[in-house]
Amino acid sequence: MASIRILVGSVYGGALLTARALKKNLGQEGHQIIVLENPELEDVTGNDDPILVCTSTTGQGEVPPNLLPFYVRLRDELPQQPGRPFGVIVLGDSSYGDTFCGAGELMEEAFYETSAQKVGDTLRIDALETTDPEIEAEPWVRQWLDQL
Ligand SMILES: Cc1cc2nc3c(=O)[nH]c(=O)nc-3n(C[C@H](O)[C@H](O)[C@H](O)COP(=O)(O)O)c2cc1C
């Protein structure tokens, strides 16, 4: 059973609800899941649990305000964590065109610069296609867990 940390970035609550649903459903099966609603850099550097980013996109392809301080410190301090597994679930809206799901790319780039290792392909959840992001996320996370 895996122990994972979910870093949440959310403006209107969709990504947060998704993270909480994952914790509830996968937690019942014995996985230990910590949902970090206002993550600090130390929530990641103080352990070696796999990291799952679950963020929406705001502004023009930007990271939501609650995740922004973490992102800025991660990018500025680049704490090296070679091989640390991470995955990305990003919510967006394809009507935003070029900035579709941009927050996921920003987080991915920052983690890559810490030498962390991405597991699986990014899951992009399009608000134009679904109003239930947690339903798309759960099977994806099951596969992601299998790849850890
Ligand atoms: C002000 C605003 C700006 C947004 N900017 C983007 C964007 O640049 N790219 C994108 O893919 N989605 C963008 N979105 C769409 C949200 O990411 C999407 O609706 C998401 O499901 C919201 O998740 P949340 O409830 O966790 O905040 C934006 C939404 C709002 C309201």
CATH assignment of 3-147? 3.40.50.360
Q: What mean pLDDT do residues 36-42 have?
A: 97
User: End-to-end alpha-carbon separation of the chain, Å?
Assistant: 11
Tell me which residue of 138, 125, 60 sits closest to 99, measured CA to CA: 60
**What pLDDT does residue 54 have?**
98
35: CA distance to ligand 1 center in Å?
A: 20
Alpha-carbon gap, residue 28 to 35, rounded angstroms: 15
Does 15 contact ligand 1 (Cβ within 6 A)? yes
Does 56 contact ligand 1 (Cβ within 6 A)? yes
1: CA distance to ligand 1 center in Å?
A: 33
Does 47 contact ligand 1 (Cβ within 6 A)? no
What percent of the chain has a predicted confidence (pLDDT) above 90? 97
Residue 94 confidence (pLDDT) above 80: yes
Q: How distant, in Å, are the alpha carbons of 60, 62, 148 from that of 112? A: 22, 18, 17
**What pLDDT does residue 35 have?**
98
The closest residue, in CA terms, to atom 5 on ligand 1 is: 58
**What pLDDT does residue 5 have?**
98
User: Bridge-partner residues for 4, per DSSP?
Assistant: 33
If you average pLDDT over every residue of the chain, what do you get?
A: 97
User: What does the domain layout of the chain look like in residue ranges?
Assistant: 3-147
The closest residue, in CA terms, to atom 16 on ligand 1 is: 92
Q: What mean pLDDT do residues 13-30 have?
A: 96
